[in-house]
Amino acid sequence: MDNLLELMKSSGAVLDGHFLLTSGRHSDVYLEKFRLLEKPKVVAELGKRMAAALPEEVDVVLGAAIGGILLSHATATELSTLGIFAERVDGNLQLRRGFELRKGDRVLIVEDIVSTGGSVKELIELVEQYEAEVAGVVCLVDRTQNGVNFGCSTEALLRYPAVSWKPEECPLCKQDISITTRGRTGKQ
């Protein structure tokens, strides 16, 4: 699994078309991470890579449901620590199922695909609500043009800048190309 992009392409994870992203933006490329995450050995390897990406001491690894569940678990396994996830309730990320953070916990945030960074920013706010500390952010793929500054150490296993547009500016919409909605998380 040396070349993550090649693995994604050979797994059918890189799709071309007209897509509505979780951010609400449109794109002509969609990364279907579950073509990778359906393979337990690949998830274990991704967890190793994510754990090694930021050499920080952490108490908890936090991801967002759904893709972040597998990645946070695999990363936490490598770090021999807790792996928890946040879920959307009425459009907002929350800790449920008895998960909690303690004041002062050092939290590594693990994300699958970063398109705008909105979900990571929500996770950072969630960590801060518990008076815990963000040790860093690691994502599987950063799709942004220039990276996102989360105010902490941030690493991506793969940078794959992709063009996206606001719906009213989308050239694919202007060509009446049908849109495909994939993987929406309930983010509002």
Predicted confidence (pLDDT) per residue in 122-174, tens digit = 999 999 999 999 999 999 999 888 888 999 999 999 999 888 899 999 999 99
Confidence class for position 54, pLDDT limits 50, 70, 90? confident
pLDDT at residue 184 tops 80:
no
Q: Output the six-digit token pair for 131.
A: 């008076």
Predicted confidence (pLDDT) per residue in 110-123, tens digit = 999 998 888 999 99
Q: Contact, 35 vs 14, CB < 8 A?
A: no
What is the spatial distance between Cα 148 and Cα 146, in angstroms, rounded to a whole number? 7
Backbone phi, psi, residue 62, to 5°: -120, 130
pTM check: above 0.85: yes
The CATH number assigned to the domain with range 4-181 reads 3.40.50.2020
Mean pLDDT of 13-28: 88
Q: Which residues contact 84 (CB under 8 A, 6 or more apart)?
A: 60, 61, 62, 63, 72, 95, 99
pLDDT at residue 186 in the model: 45
Confidence class for position 188, pLDDT limits 50, 70, 90? very low
Kindly state the helix (H) or strand (E) to which residue 121 belongs, with its residue range. Answer: helix 118-129
pLDDT at residue 161 in the model: 87
As beta bridge partners, residue 111 has 139
Q: How far is CA 13 from CA 4, 19, 64, 102, 147, in A?
A: 11, 14, 20, 37, 21
Confidence class for position 21, pLDDT limits 50, 70, 90? confident
pLDDT at residue 145 in the model: 84
pLDDT at residue 187 in the model: 46
As beta bridge partners, residue 83 has 61
pLDDT at residue 80 in the model: 96
Worst-scoring range by mean pLDDT, 16-30, 40-54, 59-73, 102-116? 16-30
Domain ranges of the chain: 4-181
Predicted confidence (pLDDT) per residue in 68-101, tens digit = 999 999 999 999 999 999 999 998 999 999 999 9
